[in-house]
Amino acid sequence: MHRILILSGLFMVWATNAIVPPQAATAQERASISYDQALYLMEQGRGNEALAALKVYALQGNMEAHYKMGQIYRLGLGVPINLQQSMVHYRDGADRGHSQAALTLANILYFDLYNQPGSVEEAVDLWKAQAIKRQGQAYYMLGNIFWTGERGVLADPILAYGLMWEASRKRVRGAIEGETIMREKVILRDRMQGQKVVGNLATNGFPKTPLVSVNAPKAPEGQLYVDTGPAKGHSRRAPPQDWTNTWRILIGGRVSRKSANRLRSEIGVTLPGIVGDLVFHIMPAPNPRGDLDHLLVAGPFKDNYEGLVRCSYLKQYEYQCESLGPTRR
């Protein structure tokens, strides 16, 4: 006769002669506790005993044990919640190749500790390593991040589509909806480019610069793109009635009016194929000192994607650029 015990989402069959889950174990007894029994202690909230038992397996190279120890500290299973200590064990597990430990550590770094120097960069690197291993959750997270270009990550909508497409193929929650939204914004040839790049990550790794749309003007290698006017097919857009209520890009951040005018002239002369169809506008912006900074904006765009793509071109020439949406909808 067998008894069924649900443990960590798995069904485990215990024979009638199975060892009864240990009570408070001594140091000598911990060495003989099975891994399944250690997990039972964890599920029962007996965190200190579980940690001591799991440590034996971790020292033997069991990467899953490192992950479980991280879970105990992060979730406070019988011990006080200790995020830093959980990260030690997640990192040990990740270093030994445990994908879920790496993904969990990346989530902590990106969502909980993003204001600490180096946290976002480490999180992105962890997700990239897992994406190269074809982990669906890593595809999904990177797809969102490269789509929006948030927290200092350089936006790359084409790569973002390829990543989200792969995540949707793996049925990651939210990925099918994300791919549908991106598909409406990214032209077919760019979608194919993104799919190809992501499909070859294991061989080529991640691109070092944002992928360039097939519709983008081409610059001679090692030179700025310089031509005599807007790219073929471009025509200047009609200026919006209210710049704060339209999609636009902010170039260069807060500067003086003189610097904004200089920047507008410089970009207009050197990169007409990229910005030649845009309307520029210098907006006053009050600052804490009580006087005015100025913002150089350009547009208008029909949506965020158009602005992100244009910023991705400008950033390749080391111009600071950010896509901004309407303040009133």
Are 314 and 250 in contact, with CB atoms under 8 Å apart? no
Both 8 and 81 in a single domain? yes
183 and 133 part of one domain: yes
Looking at 97, 116, 143, which one is the last position of a domain?
A: 97
- Whether 189 is in a domain gets the answer yes
In whole angstroms, give the CA distance from residue 214 to residue 13. 57
- Which are the contacts of 18, defined by CB distance < 8 A and separation ≥ 6? none
**Closest CA relative to residue 54, chosen from 73, 17, 83:** 73
Q: Both 142 and 89 in a single domain?
A: no
Task: Give the least confident one: 40-54, 58-72, 211-225, 230-244.
Answer: 211-225
pTM for the predicted model, two decimal places: 0.64
Count up the domains in the chain and report the number. 3
* Alpha-carbon span 118 to 106, nearest angstrom: 12
Nearest 10 degrees: CA dihedral of 57, 62, 66, 71? -90
In a domain, 233, yes or no: no
For 133, residues 6+ apart whose C-beta sits below 8 A from its C-beta are: 99, 202
| Residue at a domain's end among 174, 204, 234 | 204
Residues 248 and 297 in one domain: yes
Q: pLDDT digits over 86-119, tens only?
A: 999 999 999 999 999 999 999 999 999 998 999 9
- Please report which confidence band the pLDDT of residue 22 belongs to, taking 50, 70 and 90 as the band edges: very low
Highest mean pLDDT among 63-72, 117-126, 221-230: 117-126
| Residue 253 placed within a domain | yes
- Distance from CA of residue 42 to its chain's centroid? 31
- Best-predicted range by mean pLDDT (35-49, 145-159, 227-241): 145-159
Instruction: With respect to residue 11, please indicate whether it lies within any of the assigned structural domains.
Output: yes
Q: Where are the alpha helices (DSSP H) in the chain?
A: 27-30, 35-43, 47-59, 63-75, 83-95, 99-107, 119-132, 136-148, 157-169, 175-185, 188-199, 201-204, 257-270, 272-275, 304-316
Domain match, 150 and 196 both: yes
Closest CA to 308 of 201, 205, 198, 185: 185
Phi, psi of 291 (to 5 degrees): -110, -160
Angle between helices 99-107 and 136-148 (to 10 degrees): 30
Q: Is 209 helix (H, G, I), strand (E, B) or coil?
A: coil
Rounded to an integer, what is the distance from CA 104 to the centroid of its chain?
Answer: 13
- Domain with 317, as residue range(s), is 243-324
Q: What average pLDDT does the chain have?
A: 81
- The answer to whether residue 214 is domain-embedded is no
More confident position, 29 or 248:
248
**Residue 131 and residue 88 share a domain:** no
Which structure tokens are listed for 67?
Answer: 């992950």
Three-state SS at 324: strand
Concatenated DSSP letters of 252-300: EEEE-HHHHHHHHHHHHHH-HHHHTTPEEEEEEEE-TTSSEEEEEEEEE
The pLDDT of residue 184: 86
Residues 282, 200 within the same domain: no
Measured distance CA(229)–CA(235) in Å, rounded: 10
Q: Are residues 19 and 87 in the same domain?
A: yes
